[in-house]
Amino acid sequence: QSVLTQPPSASGTPGQRVAISCSGSSSNIGWSIVNWYQQLPGTAPKLLIYANGHRPSGVPDRFSGSKSGTSATLAISGLQSEDEADYYCATWDDSLNGWVFGGGTKLTVL
Amino acid sequence: QVQLVESGGGVVQPGRSLRLSCAASGFILSRNGMHWVRQAPGKGLEWVATISYDGSNKDYADSVKGRFTISRDNSKNTLYVEMNSLRAEDTAVYYCAKDLGGQHCSGGRCHSYGMDVWGQGTTVTVSS
């Protein structure tokens, strides 16, 4: 069982907006920053959002992140078929003294 | 461009040891913290270990503490993880990842910003 809680699945149709949640506690999300990673089938994870809401160069502005209290959200607008992937949130846990990941959310584009 | 290439994976019997390597190129390894993250078959991501840019600080997940050792040779642009007393539950794809750089601090405590670029992974299977 993961320290961070994500819904196991999410779905949307092309062009729609989808939001994926990540719930934690005061010792992790409430204290630290949140990163989001995208893992396309059969490939390594790729950094999508860092420090709650910053996009690395090359990541489309369709992807956005936010944090409030002990929860974080990844939003994808203008959904495209190539967005079909697993998405993971990650943060530092001050009690565990280490990085923790959410269980992952499998996004399906219908 | 930044590239990380893991090697050293394979099939190993329970209780044996294995050393993974991660060759870095396209950036100055000595200026960056580095991480190992693993993914068991069909499962999510699990952080394994982190080492600071100069090797002076190391953190481990409880699941590997005392069995795994992370290290680096900046002169060879290579990151390592020595895995001892391997168990079936250590079976996974092991990824090395470069740290984003910088630190987040709160209440007098600081940590890195986490994993940035990832390698393609190397597979470790622990089985008799």
Burial of residue B48 (CB within 10 Å: 0-12, 13-18, 19+) is buried
Q: What is the pLDDT of residues A71-91, one digit of tens each?
A: 999 999 999 999 999 999 999
Q: What is the pLDDT of residues B17-57, one digit of tens each?
A: 999 999 999 999 999 999 999 999 999 999 999 999 999 99
The Cα B122–Cα B128 span in angstroms is 19
Q: What is the pLDDT of residues A3-54, one digit of tens each?
A: 999 999 999 999 999 999 999 999 999 999 999 999 999 999 999 999 999 9
Task: Identify the H or E element spanning A11.
Answer: strand A9-12
Q: Which of B44, B104, B121 sits opposite A103 (nearest CB)?
A: B44
- Mutant choice from A99, A100, A101 vs B, greatest count of B C-beta within 10 A: A99
How near does any CA of chain A get to the CA of B94, in Å? 10
**Residue B111 touches partner A, C-beta closer than 8 Å:** yes
Q: State which residue of chain A sits closest to B50, comparing Cα positions.
A: A98
> How far is Cα of residue B33 from the mean position of the Cα atoms in its chain?
10
